[in-house]
Amino acid sequence: MKGLIGKKLGMTRLFLDGARAVPVTVILAAANIVVQVKTPERDGYSAVQLGFGAKRRGTRAERGHAARHAGAFAAEKAGEGGAGTLAYKVIREFPLSKGDDPKPGDEVPVDIFSPGEKLSVTGTSKGRGYAGVMKRHGFGGGRATHGCLTPRSGGSIGSAADPSRVVPGRKMAGHFGAARVTAKNLEVVDVRPDYGVILVKGAVPGPNGGLLLLRGAA
């Protein structure tokens, strides 16, 4: 499984075939540095740990982890300073594909994905605060005429004499958004290594500047 860490820059559109306008999300996924490679012999499973974004004021543990595994090459690639001074803002693990042999300090390029390929993009959705049932769950609401004073309420939530209580899991008003969301089977429209960006068709979860995890669709 291929994977990258990225940042959502925003949305725009591309004109394909001379006339067809396609909405795309621009995702910055440059400077993904291999921090550590997990092996079955040492860790019990195969995975690659990627670091994204230089962190100037990391803790001693964060700096030591980056220096021990990625070394000075990663420090030069992802930020200022030498080995032992760099920390990463984000570190995530991805399952290691068969045949891959990454080395700590290697930079994973954005062109591991190609146009036409399908992706699963994971992010944190925008927080909407406290929301009612119409906004949170898509309820139709009550009639907004003939003296109805609560057209946006959820209506009756209880039961009759049996069971005489509100059933757990009832859809009600409450906190909406700010949850982990995965959009599946999004098509890669274009990859531009010179800018370190991937253009994905349609919208992805989260606000501009939000963290995203890109994985090849299984």
Residue 77 is predicted with a pLDDT of 52
In the prediction, which pLDDT does 158 show? 85
**Which pLDDT score, from 0 to 100, does residue 102 have?**
85
Tell me the C-alpha distance between 81 and 90, whole Å.
18
Cβ proximity of 90 and 32 under 8 Å: no
Sign of the CA dihedral 102, 106, 110, 111?
negative
pLDDT at position 82: 42
Residue 86 confidence (pLDDT): 75
Does the structural domain 3-127+182-216 have CATH classification 2.40.30.10? yes
- Give the SS3 label for residue 74: helix
Q: Of the candidates 63, 5, 1, which has an alpha carbon nearest to the alpha carbon of residue 34? A: 5
Q: Where are the domains of the chain?
A: 3-127+182-216, 131-176
Ranges in the chain, pLDDT < 70? 1, 69-85, 218
Annotate 52-70 with DSSP letters as a single string: EEEETT--HHHHHHHHHHT
Q: pLDDT digits over 108-150, tens only?
A: 999 999 999 999 999 999 999 999 999 999 999 988 899 888 8
